[in-house]
A and B are shown apart, each in its own frame.
Chain A
Amino acid sequence: MTPLLKLTGMTKVYPSVIANDGIDLEVHPGQIHAVLGENGAGKSTLMKIIYGVAEPDSGTIEWQGTPVTIRNPAHARSLGIGMVFQHFSLFETLTVAENIALAVEGSVADLTKRIEAAADRYGLDVRADARVKALSVGERQRVEILRCILQDPKLIIMDEPTSVLSPQSIAQLFETLKALAAEGYGILFISHKLDEIRALCDTATVLRHGKVTGRVDPREETSRSLARMMIGRDLPQARHGAVDTVGEERLGLFGLDFTPEDPFAVALKDVSMEVRAGEIVGIAGVSGNGQDALTRLISGEERLDAAQSEWVQIDREPVGHLGPARRRRLGLHFVPEERLGRGAVPAHTLSENALLTGHGSGLSKRGFLNFGAMKRFAGSTIDDFDVRCGGSASAAQSLSGGNLQKYIVGREIALKPKVLLISQPTWGVDVGAAAVIRQRLIDLRDEGVAVLVVSEELEELFEIADRLHVMFRGRLSPSVRTAQTDIEHIGLAMTGDFDHMSVEEPVPATADEAGAPGVVGAHG
């Protein structure tokens, strides 16, 4: 049978790196083919070549048995290659339907019906008349997926599509993808989530440093063996330290109500929680349920009126009316989910980016920049977190997503937080770097820091968090001890069913009980 797509000896050399080194790949109709690899392994470059964005230096592409040169994405689409990108290309001021109308033929009214039908069928919950501006990252990705599906492709490339979906939606998407495959569509599924690949894909091509290191049936592999092919060694395991002391309340929210200016954004209703010294609290939930407003209200990027300042407290001091710099001085540090442009200034060097949050911590003196201190700070963060870059003078935008995340996390940790809020700590980060980041969060907890993690990755939260809340449509569930619940229950809560989320005393007061997680039965 003729393969849908056949790549032979695909090679792409960039000035500083060989991104693809003689890669062979075949995708057959009806196949769900995983391309697996760490960040920087060459997955993105390969997809860019297939989609006509990058030109290979050598190698041949055959599309349905005919050699082709894919000139540009429009050409790729006309051949029947569709792509769902990791980075979105949507116009913020247009509605979902208008955005899709730019790529798919048909009137907006007609498309609205098709969008709703497709959204319903594939469980991609998004309103066709909502403005993209008001959508969360997760919702935007659903729009991208819808836009691709409506273009009726033969081969669908999905670049890490599941990172923002709830477990239930992932299962639903997988059903969709399997149905599409059964109808003869070919699917290229790029991911580094090993269990997903094992559940979904029938073939996997593993890349490392631009070369193919494995061509396997993932259903017959373990996550461990796939990971070894991917990173060339065994994964470091995050380990929980013994929680022997859970201390004072560091961060507290008390009946927080908040209505964003944007009418489409989710309002927060009566959100209460606390994070104590020496514990990691996780907030699970599909993005777009109010996490963005919540993190901004905690970080100070969004401020409350002075009358409501008591709704947010650091060390029992009302801070709701203070800006981020003042809260940072009180010991609250924050790693936002957007790295480029929010957590770091893209065009600035790493040492200049150290100044962004470190300007109050000795990197400037009497209003003047201390270049020596900035360079030392950046250098030690780079060493400490093994950030792969050209040194402290590299521009933030020259780093891969995972390395920049390591740098930002390292920067905030080096600034000695009392409370660390971290949003999507390992989103788009390769498994090796993710393990490092998680371990450092656990170390931080053991040192007595209060850590609050907002994440969509349940496995991650179960791995590191001591207690979990779930966020749904602006409401926050009571917390439940991680050791006393499981993924199914949390998944249920992510659809709004908080009933089983226990309202027990959130934190054990004694060291005795605190040592319990992992010992207590898995079901609450």
Chain B
Amino acid sequence: MARYRLEARTERSAAAPFLVTGMAILLTLVAGSGLFLIYGKSPVAGFTAFFIEPLQSAYGIGEVLLKMGPLLLIAQGLAIGFRARIWNIGAEGQLILGAIAASVLAIYFDGSTSWLLLPAMVVAAMLAGMAWAGIAAWLRNSFNANEILVTFMLSSIALQLLYYLVTGPLRDPMGFNFPQSITFSPAATFPLLIEGTRVNVSLLLAFVATVLAWIYMQRSLPGYKLVVGGLAPQAALYAGFSDKRAVWVGLLIGGAAAGIAGVGEVAGPLGMLQRNISPGYGYAAIIVAFLGGLHPIGIVFSSALMALIYVGGDFARLSVGLPSAVTTIFQGLLLTFYLASALFLQYRLRRVDARPPVQAAAAEGAG
């Protein structure tokens, strides 16, 4: 009988991260086929609806790009923290705070035609996201509070804050008591990037963030310090790189990116503040960041894939009749398979040929 065992890898090939991502996608497709079959749908029809149909129309491509924007932006920010082993999983809350801060400006300056309004909203959103993430950084550095729990719980608080504001102070007085703000004026919304779609200029911010993230992580000394802190905390201490600073930087960058993603939604496709701002972008971006190997370039591709899954889920619901939960399931499958495959970055499976075991008795007898 053949047995297998995990062995630590002594060296890593450059292709390994790509193989891991490829493997995760492949396994997701296989498991997805099973899922379609359980629903009594043809996998071919299911996957066509999921991954092909959205890319066959300008509208579909536009929707994919629209969803790719926030995912890309947030994931770039989170990946920087993750490289430093700062686990910010509350990007959703930071996004909401960003959306709220931007909305306050848009509502207060309603009717303004100043070109300054939109940049001011972006800055306000960024600062709000940073402040929300900064709470976690402060608690971690002062009281060693676990940032995973703090950022996660702050997301729940952010959501409740949003509910309160859209049903109270920021509600449209002429809006028939609907829990939403007034519609933002044109000066407070992003201009469209591609006519005939909903893609707006905020997508460019995500690409700018990608370039900045690449420069920061691959070329700058502060980025290097952050990575050393994540890979070898003792070496960072020895070198004199501050771990508290790394906590601040890791969380604030993630918060800034998520905050800007928030303004991209309310000043973009939504055009107002409402109860549902994000279909879980802050959480999906965690998957995007890991699937992209925490690398700025890899994240461009993984965010496109994740956006396609979002849009594909809608298409599959309409054309094949799959439930909308399929999108969430696909995200979950992707993350699970990624984590399982990532094990093989550090380890390899080795077949151990079972040989006839030596009788302990024989060994004893010879003694």
Top 4 A-B pairs, shortest CB-CB distance: A325-B240, A324-B240, A64-B366, A342-B234
- Let me know if A372 is at the binding interface, CB within 8 A: no
Q: A66 to B237: give the CA distance in the assembly, Å.
A: 52
**Which of B11, B234, B240, B360 contacts A398, CB < 8 Å?**
B11
Q: A334 to B234: give the CA distance in the assembly, Å.
A: 14
Q: Which residues of A contact B358 (CB under 8 A)?
A: 63, 66, 68-69, 75, 79
A-B contact pairs, 14 of them (CB 8 A): A63-B358, A68-B363, A71-B352, A75-B358, A341-B235, A342-B235, A345-B232, A348-B228, A352-B224, A355-B224, A356-B238, A364-B221, A367-B220, A369-B219
Q: A148 to B361: give the CA distance in the assembly, Å.
A: 22
- Let me know if A78 is at the binding interface, CB within 8 A: yes
Q: Which residues of A contact B220 (CB under 8 A)?
A: 367-369
Q: Which residues of B contact A348 (CB under 8 A)?
A: 228, 231
Q: A328 to B228: give the CA distance in the assembly, Å.
A: 18
Q: Which residues of A contact B196 (CB under 8 A)?
A: none
Q: Which residues of A contact B232 (CB under 8 A)?
A: 341-342, 345-346
- Let me know if A478 is at the binding interface, CB within 8 A: no
Interface centre among B10, B234, B360 (most CB of A within 10 A): B234
Contact between chains at A79 and B221 (CB < 8 Å)? no
Q: A343 to B240: give the CA distance in the assembly, Å.
A: 12
- Let me know if A338 is at the binding interface, CB within 8 A: yes
Interface centre among B220, B221, B357, B362 (most CB of A within 10 A): B221
Q: A198 to B334: give the CA distance in the assembly, Å.
A: 61
- Let me know if B40 is at the binding interface, CB within 8 A: no
- Let me know if A65 is at the binding interface, CB within 8 A: yes
Given known A367-B222, A398-B11, contact A345–B366 (CB-CB < 8 A):
no
Contact between chains at B363 and A334 (CB < 8 Å)? no
Contact between chains at A338 and B234 (CB < 8 Å)? yes
Contact between chains at A368 and B363 (CB < 8 Å)? no
- Besides A69-B358, A323-B242, 5 other A-B contacts (C-beta < 8 A): A68-B358, A68-B363, A324-B238, A324-B239, A359-B221
Mark each residue of chain A from 348 to 391: 1 if its CB lies under 8 Å from any CB of chain B, else 0: 10001001110100001001110000000000000000000000
- Let me know if A291 is at the binding interface, CB within 8 A: no
CB-CB nearest in chain A for B228: A345
Within 8 A of B (CB), among A231-245: none
CB B345 to nearest CB in A, in angstroms, measures 11
Contact between chains at A299 and B366 (CB < 8 Å)? no
**Which of B221, B238, B367 contacts A154, CB < 8 Å?**
B367
Within 8 A of B (CB), among A39-87: 63-66, 68-69, 71, 75, 78-80
Within 8 A of A (CB), among B219-269: 219-222, 224, 228, 231-232, 234-235, 237-242
Contact between chains at A336 and B238 (CB < 8 Å)? yes
Number of interface residues of B (CB under 8 A): 27
CB A95 to nearest CB in B, in angstroms, measures 23
CB-CB nearest in chain B for A64: B366
- Let me know if A2 is at the binding interface, CB within 8 A: yes
Q: Which residues of A contact B237 (CB under 8 A)?
A: 301, 324, 342
Contact between chains at A63 and B363 (CB < 8 Å)? yes
Contact between chains at A71 and B221 (CB < 8 Å)? no
Given known A341-B232, A347-B231, A348-B231, contact A71–B363 (CB-CB < 8 A):
no
Q: Which residues of A contact B235 (CB under 8 A)?
A: 341-345, 356
Mark each residue of chain A from 314 to 349: 1 if its CB lies under 8 Å from any CB of chain B, else 0: 000000000111111000001010100111111110
**From DSSP, what is the main secondary structure of chain B's interface residues?**
helix
**Which of B221, B238, B352, B355 contacts A301, CB < 8 Å?**
B238
CB A247 to nearest CB in B, in angstroms, measures 27
Q: A68 to B355: give the CA distance in the assembly, Å.
A: 10
CB B366 to nearest CB in A, in angstroms, measures 4
CB B31 to nearest CB in A, in angstroms, measures 31
- Let me know if A300 is at the binding interface, CB within 8 A: yes
Contact between chains at B238 and A342 (CB < 8 Å)? yes
Q: A78 to B358: give the CA distance in the assembly, Å.
A: 11
Q: A299 to B363: give the CA distance in the assembly, Å.
A: 53
Q: Which residues of A contact B363 (CB under 8 A)?
A: 63-64, 66, 68, 79-80
CB A454 to nearest CB in B, in angstroms, measures 15
Given known A341-B234, A345-B235, contact A71–B357 (CB-CB < 8 A):
yes
Q: A327 to B363: give the CA distance in the assembly, Å.
A: 60
Q: A328 to B239: give the CA distance in the assembly, Å.
A: 9
Within 8 A of B (CB), among A191-206: none
Interface centre among A301, A324, A356, A368 (most CB of B within 10 A): A356
Q: A369 to B216: give the CA distance in the assembly, Å.
A: 10
Q: Which residues of B contact A79 (CB under 8 A)?
A: 358, 360, 363
CB-CB nearest in chain B for A339: B235
Interface centre among A69, A345, A359 (most CB of B within 10 A): A345
Q: Which residues of A contact B241 (CB under 8 A)?
A: 325
Q: Which residues of B contact A299 (CB under 8 A)?
A: 238
Q: Which residues of B contact A395 (CB under 8 A)?
A: 11
Q: Which residues of A contact B355 (CB under 8 A)?
A: 69, 71
CB B83 to nearest CB in A, in angstroms, measures 12
Contact between chains at A326 and B240 (CB < 8 Å)? yes
Within 8 A of B (CB), among A448-487: none
Given known A66-B358, A68-B363, contact A356–B219 (CB-CB < 8 A):
no
Mark each residue of chain B from 323 to 367: 1 if its CB lies under 8 Å from any CB of chain A, else 0: 000000000000000000000000000001001011010110011
CB A196 to nearest CB in B, in angstroms, measures 29
Q: A494 to B346: give the CA distance in the assembly, Å.
A: 43
CB B241 to nearest CB in A, in angstroms, measures 8
Contact between chains at B219 and A368 (CB < 8 Å)? yes
Contact between chains at B360 and A78 (CB < 8 Å)? yes
Q: A327 to B239: give the CA distance in the assembly, Å.
A: 10
Contact between chains at A357 and B367 (CB < 8 Å)? no
Contact between chains at A367 and B221 (CB < 8 Å)? yes
Contact between chains at B224 and A64 (CB < 8 Å)? no
**Which of A64, A344, A398 contacts B367, CB < 8 Å?**
A64
Q: Which residues of B contact A80 (CB under 8 A)?
A: 363, 367
Q: A407 to B134: give the CA distance in the assembly, Å.
A: 39
Contact between chains at B238 and A334 (CB < 8 Å)? yes
Mark each residue of chain A from 225 to 262: 1 if its CB lies under 8 Å from any CB of chain B, else 0: 00000000000000000000000000000000000000
CB-CB nearest in chain A for B241: A325
Q: Which residues of B contact A64 (CB under 8 A)?
A: 363, 366-367
Q: A66 to B241: give the CA distance in the assembly, Å.
A: 57
Contact between chains at A369 and B231 (CB < 8 Å)? no
CB-CB nearest in chain B for A340: B232
Contact between chains at A2 and B366 (CB < 8 Å)? yes
Q: A343 to B239: give the CA distance in the assembly, Å.
A: 8
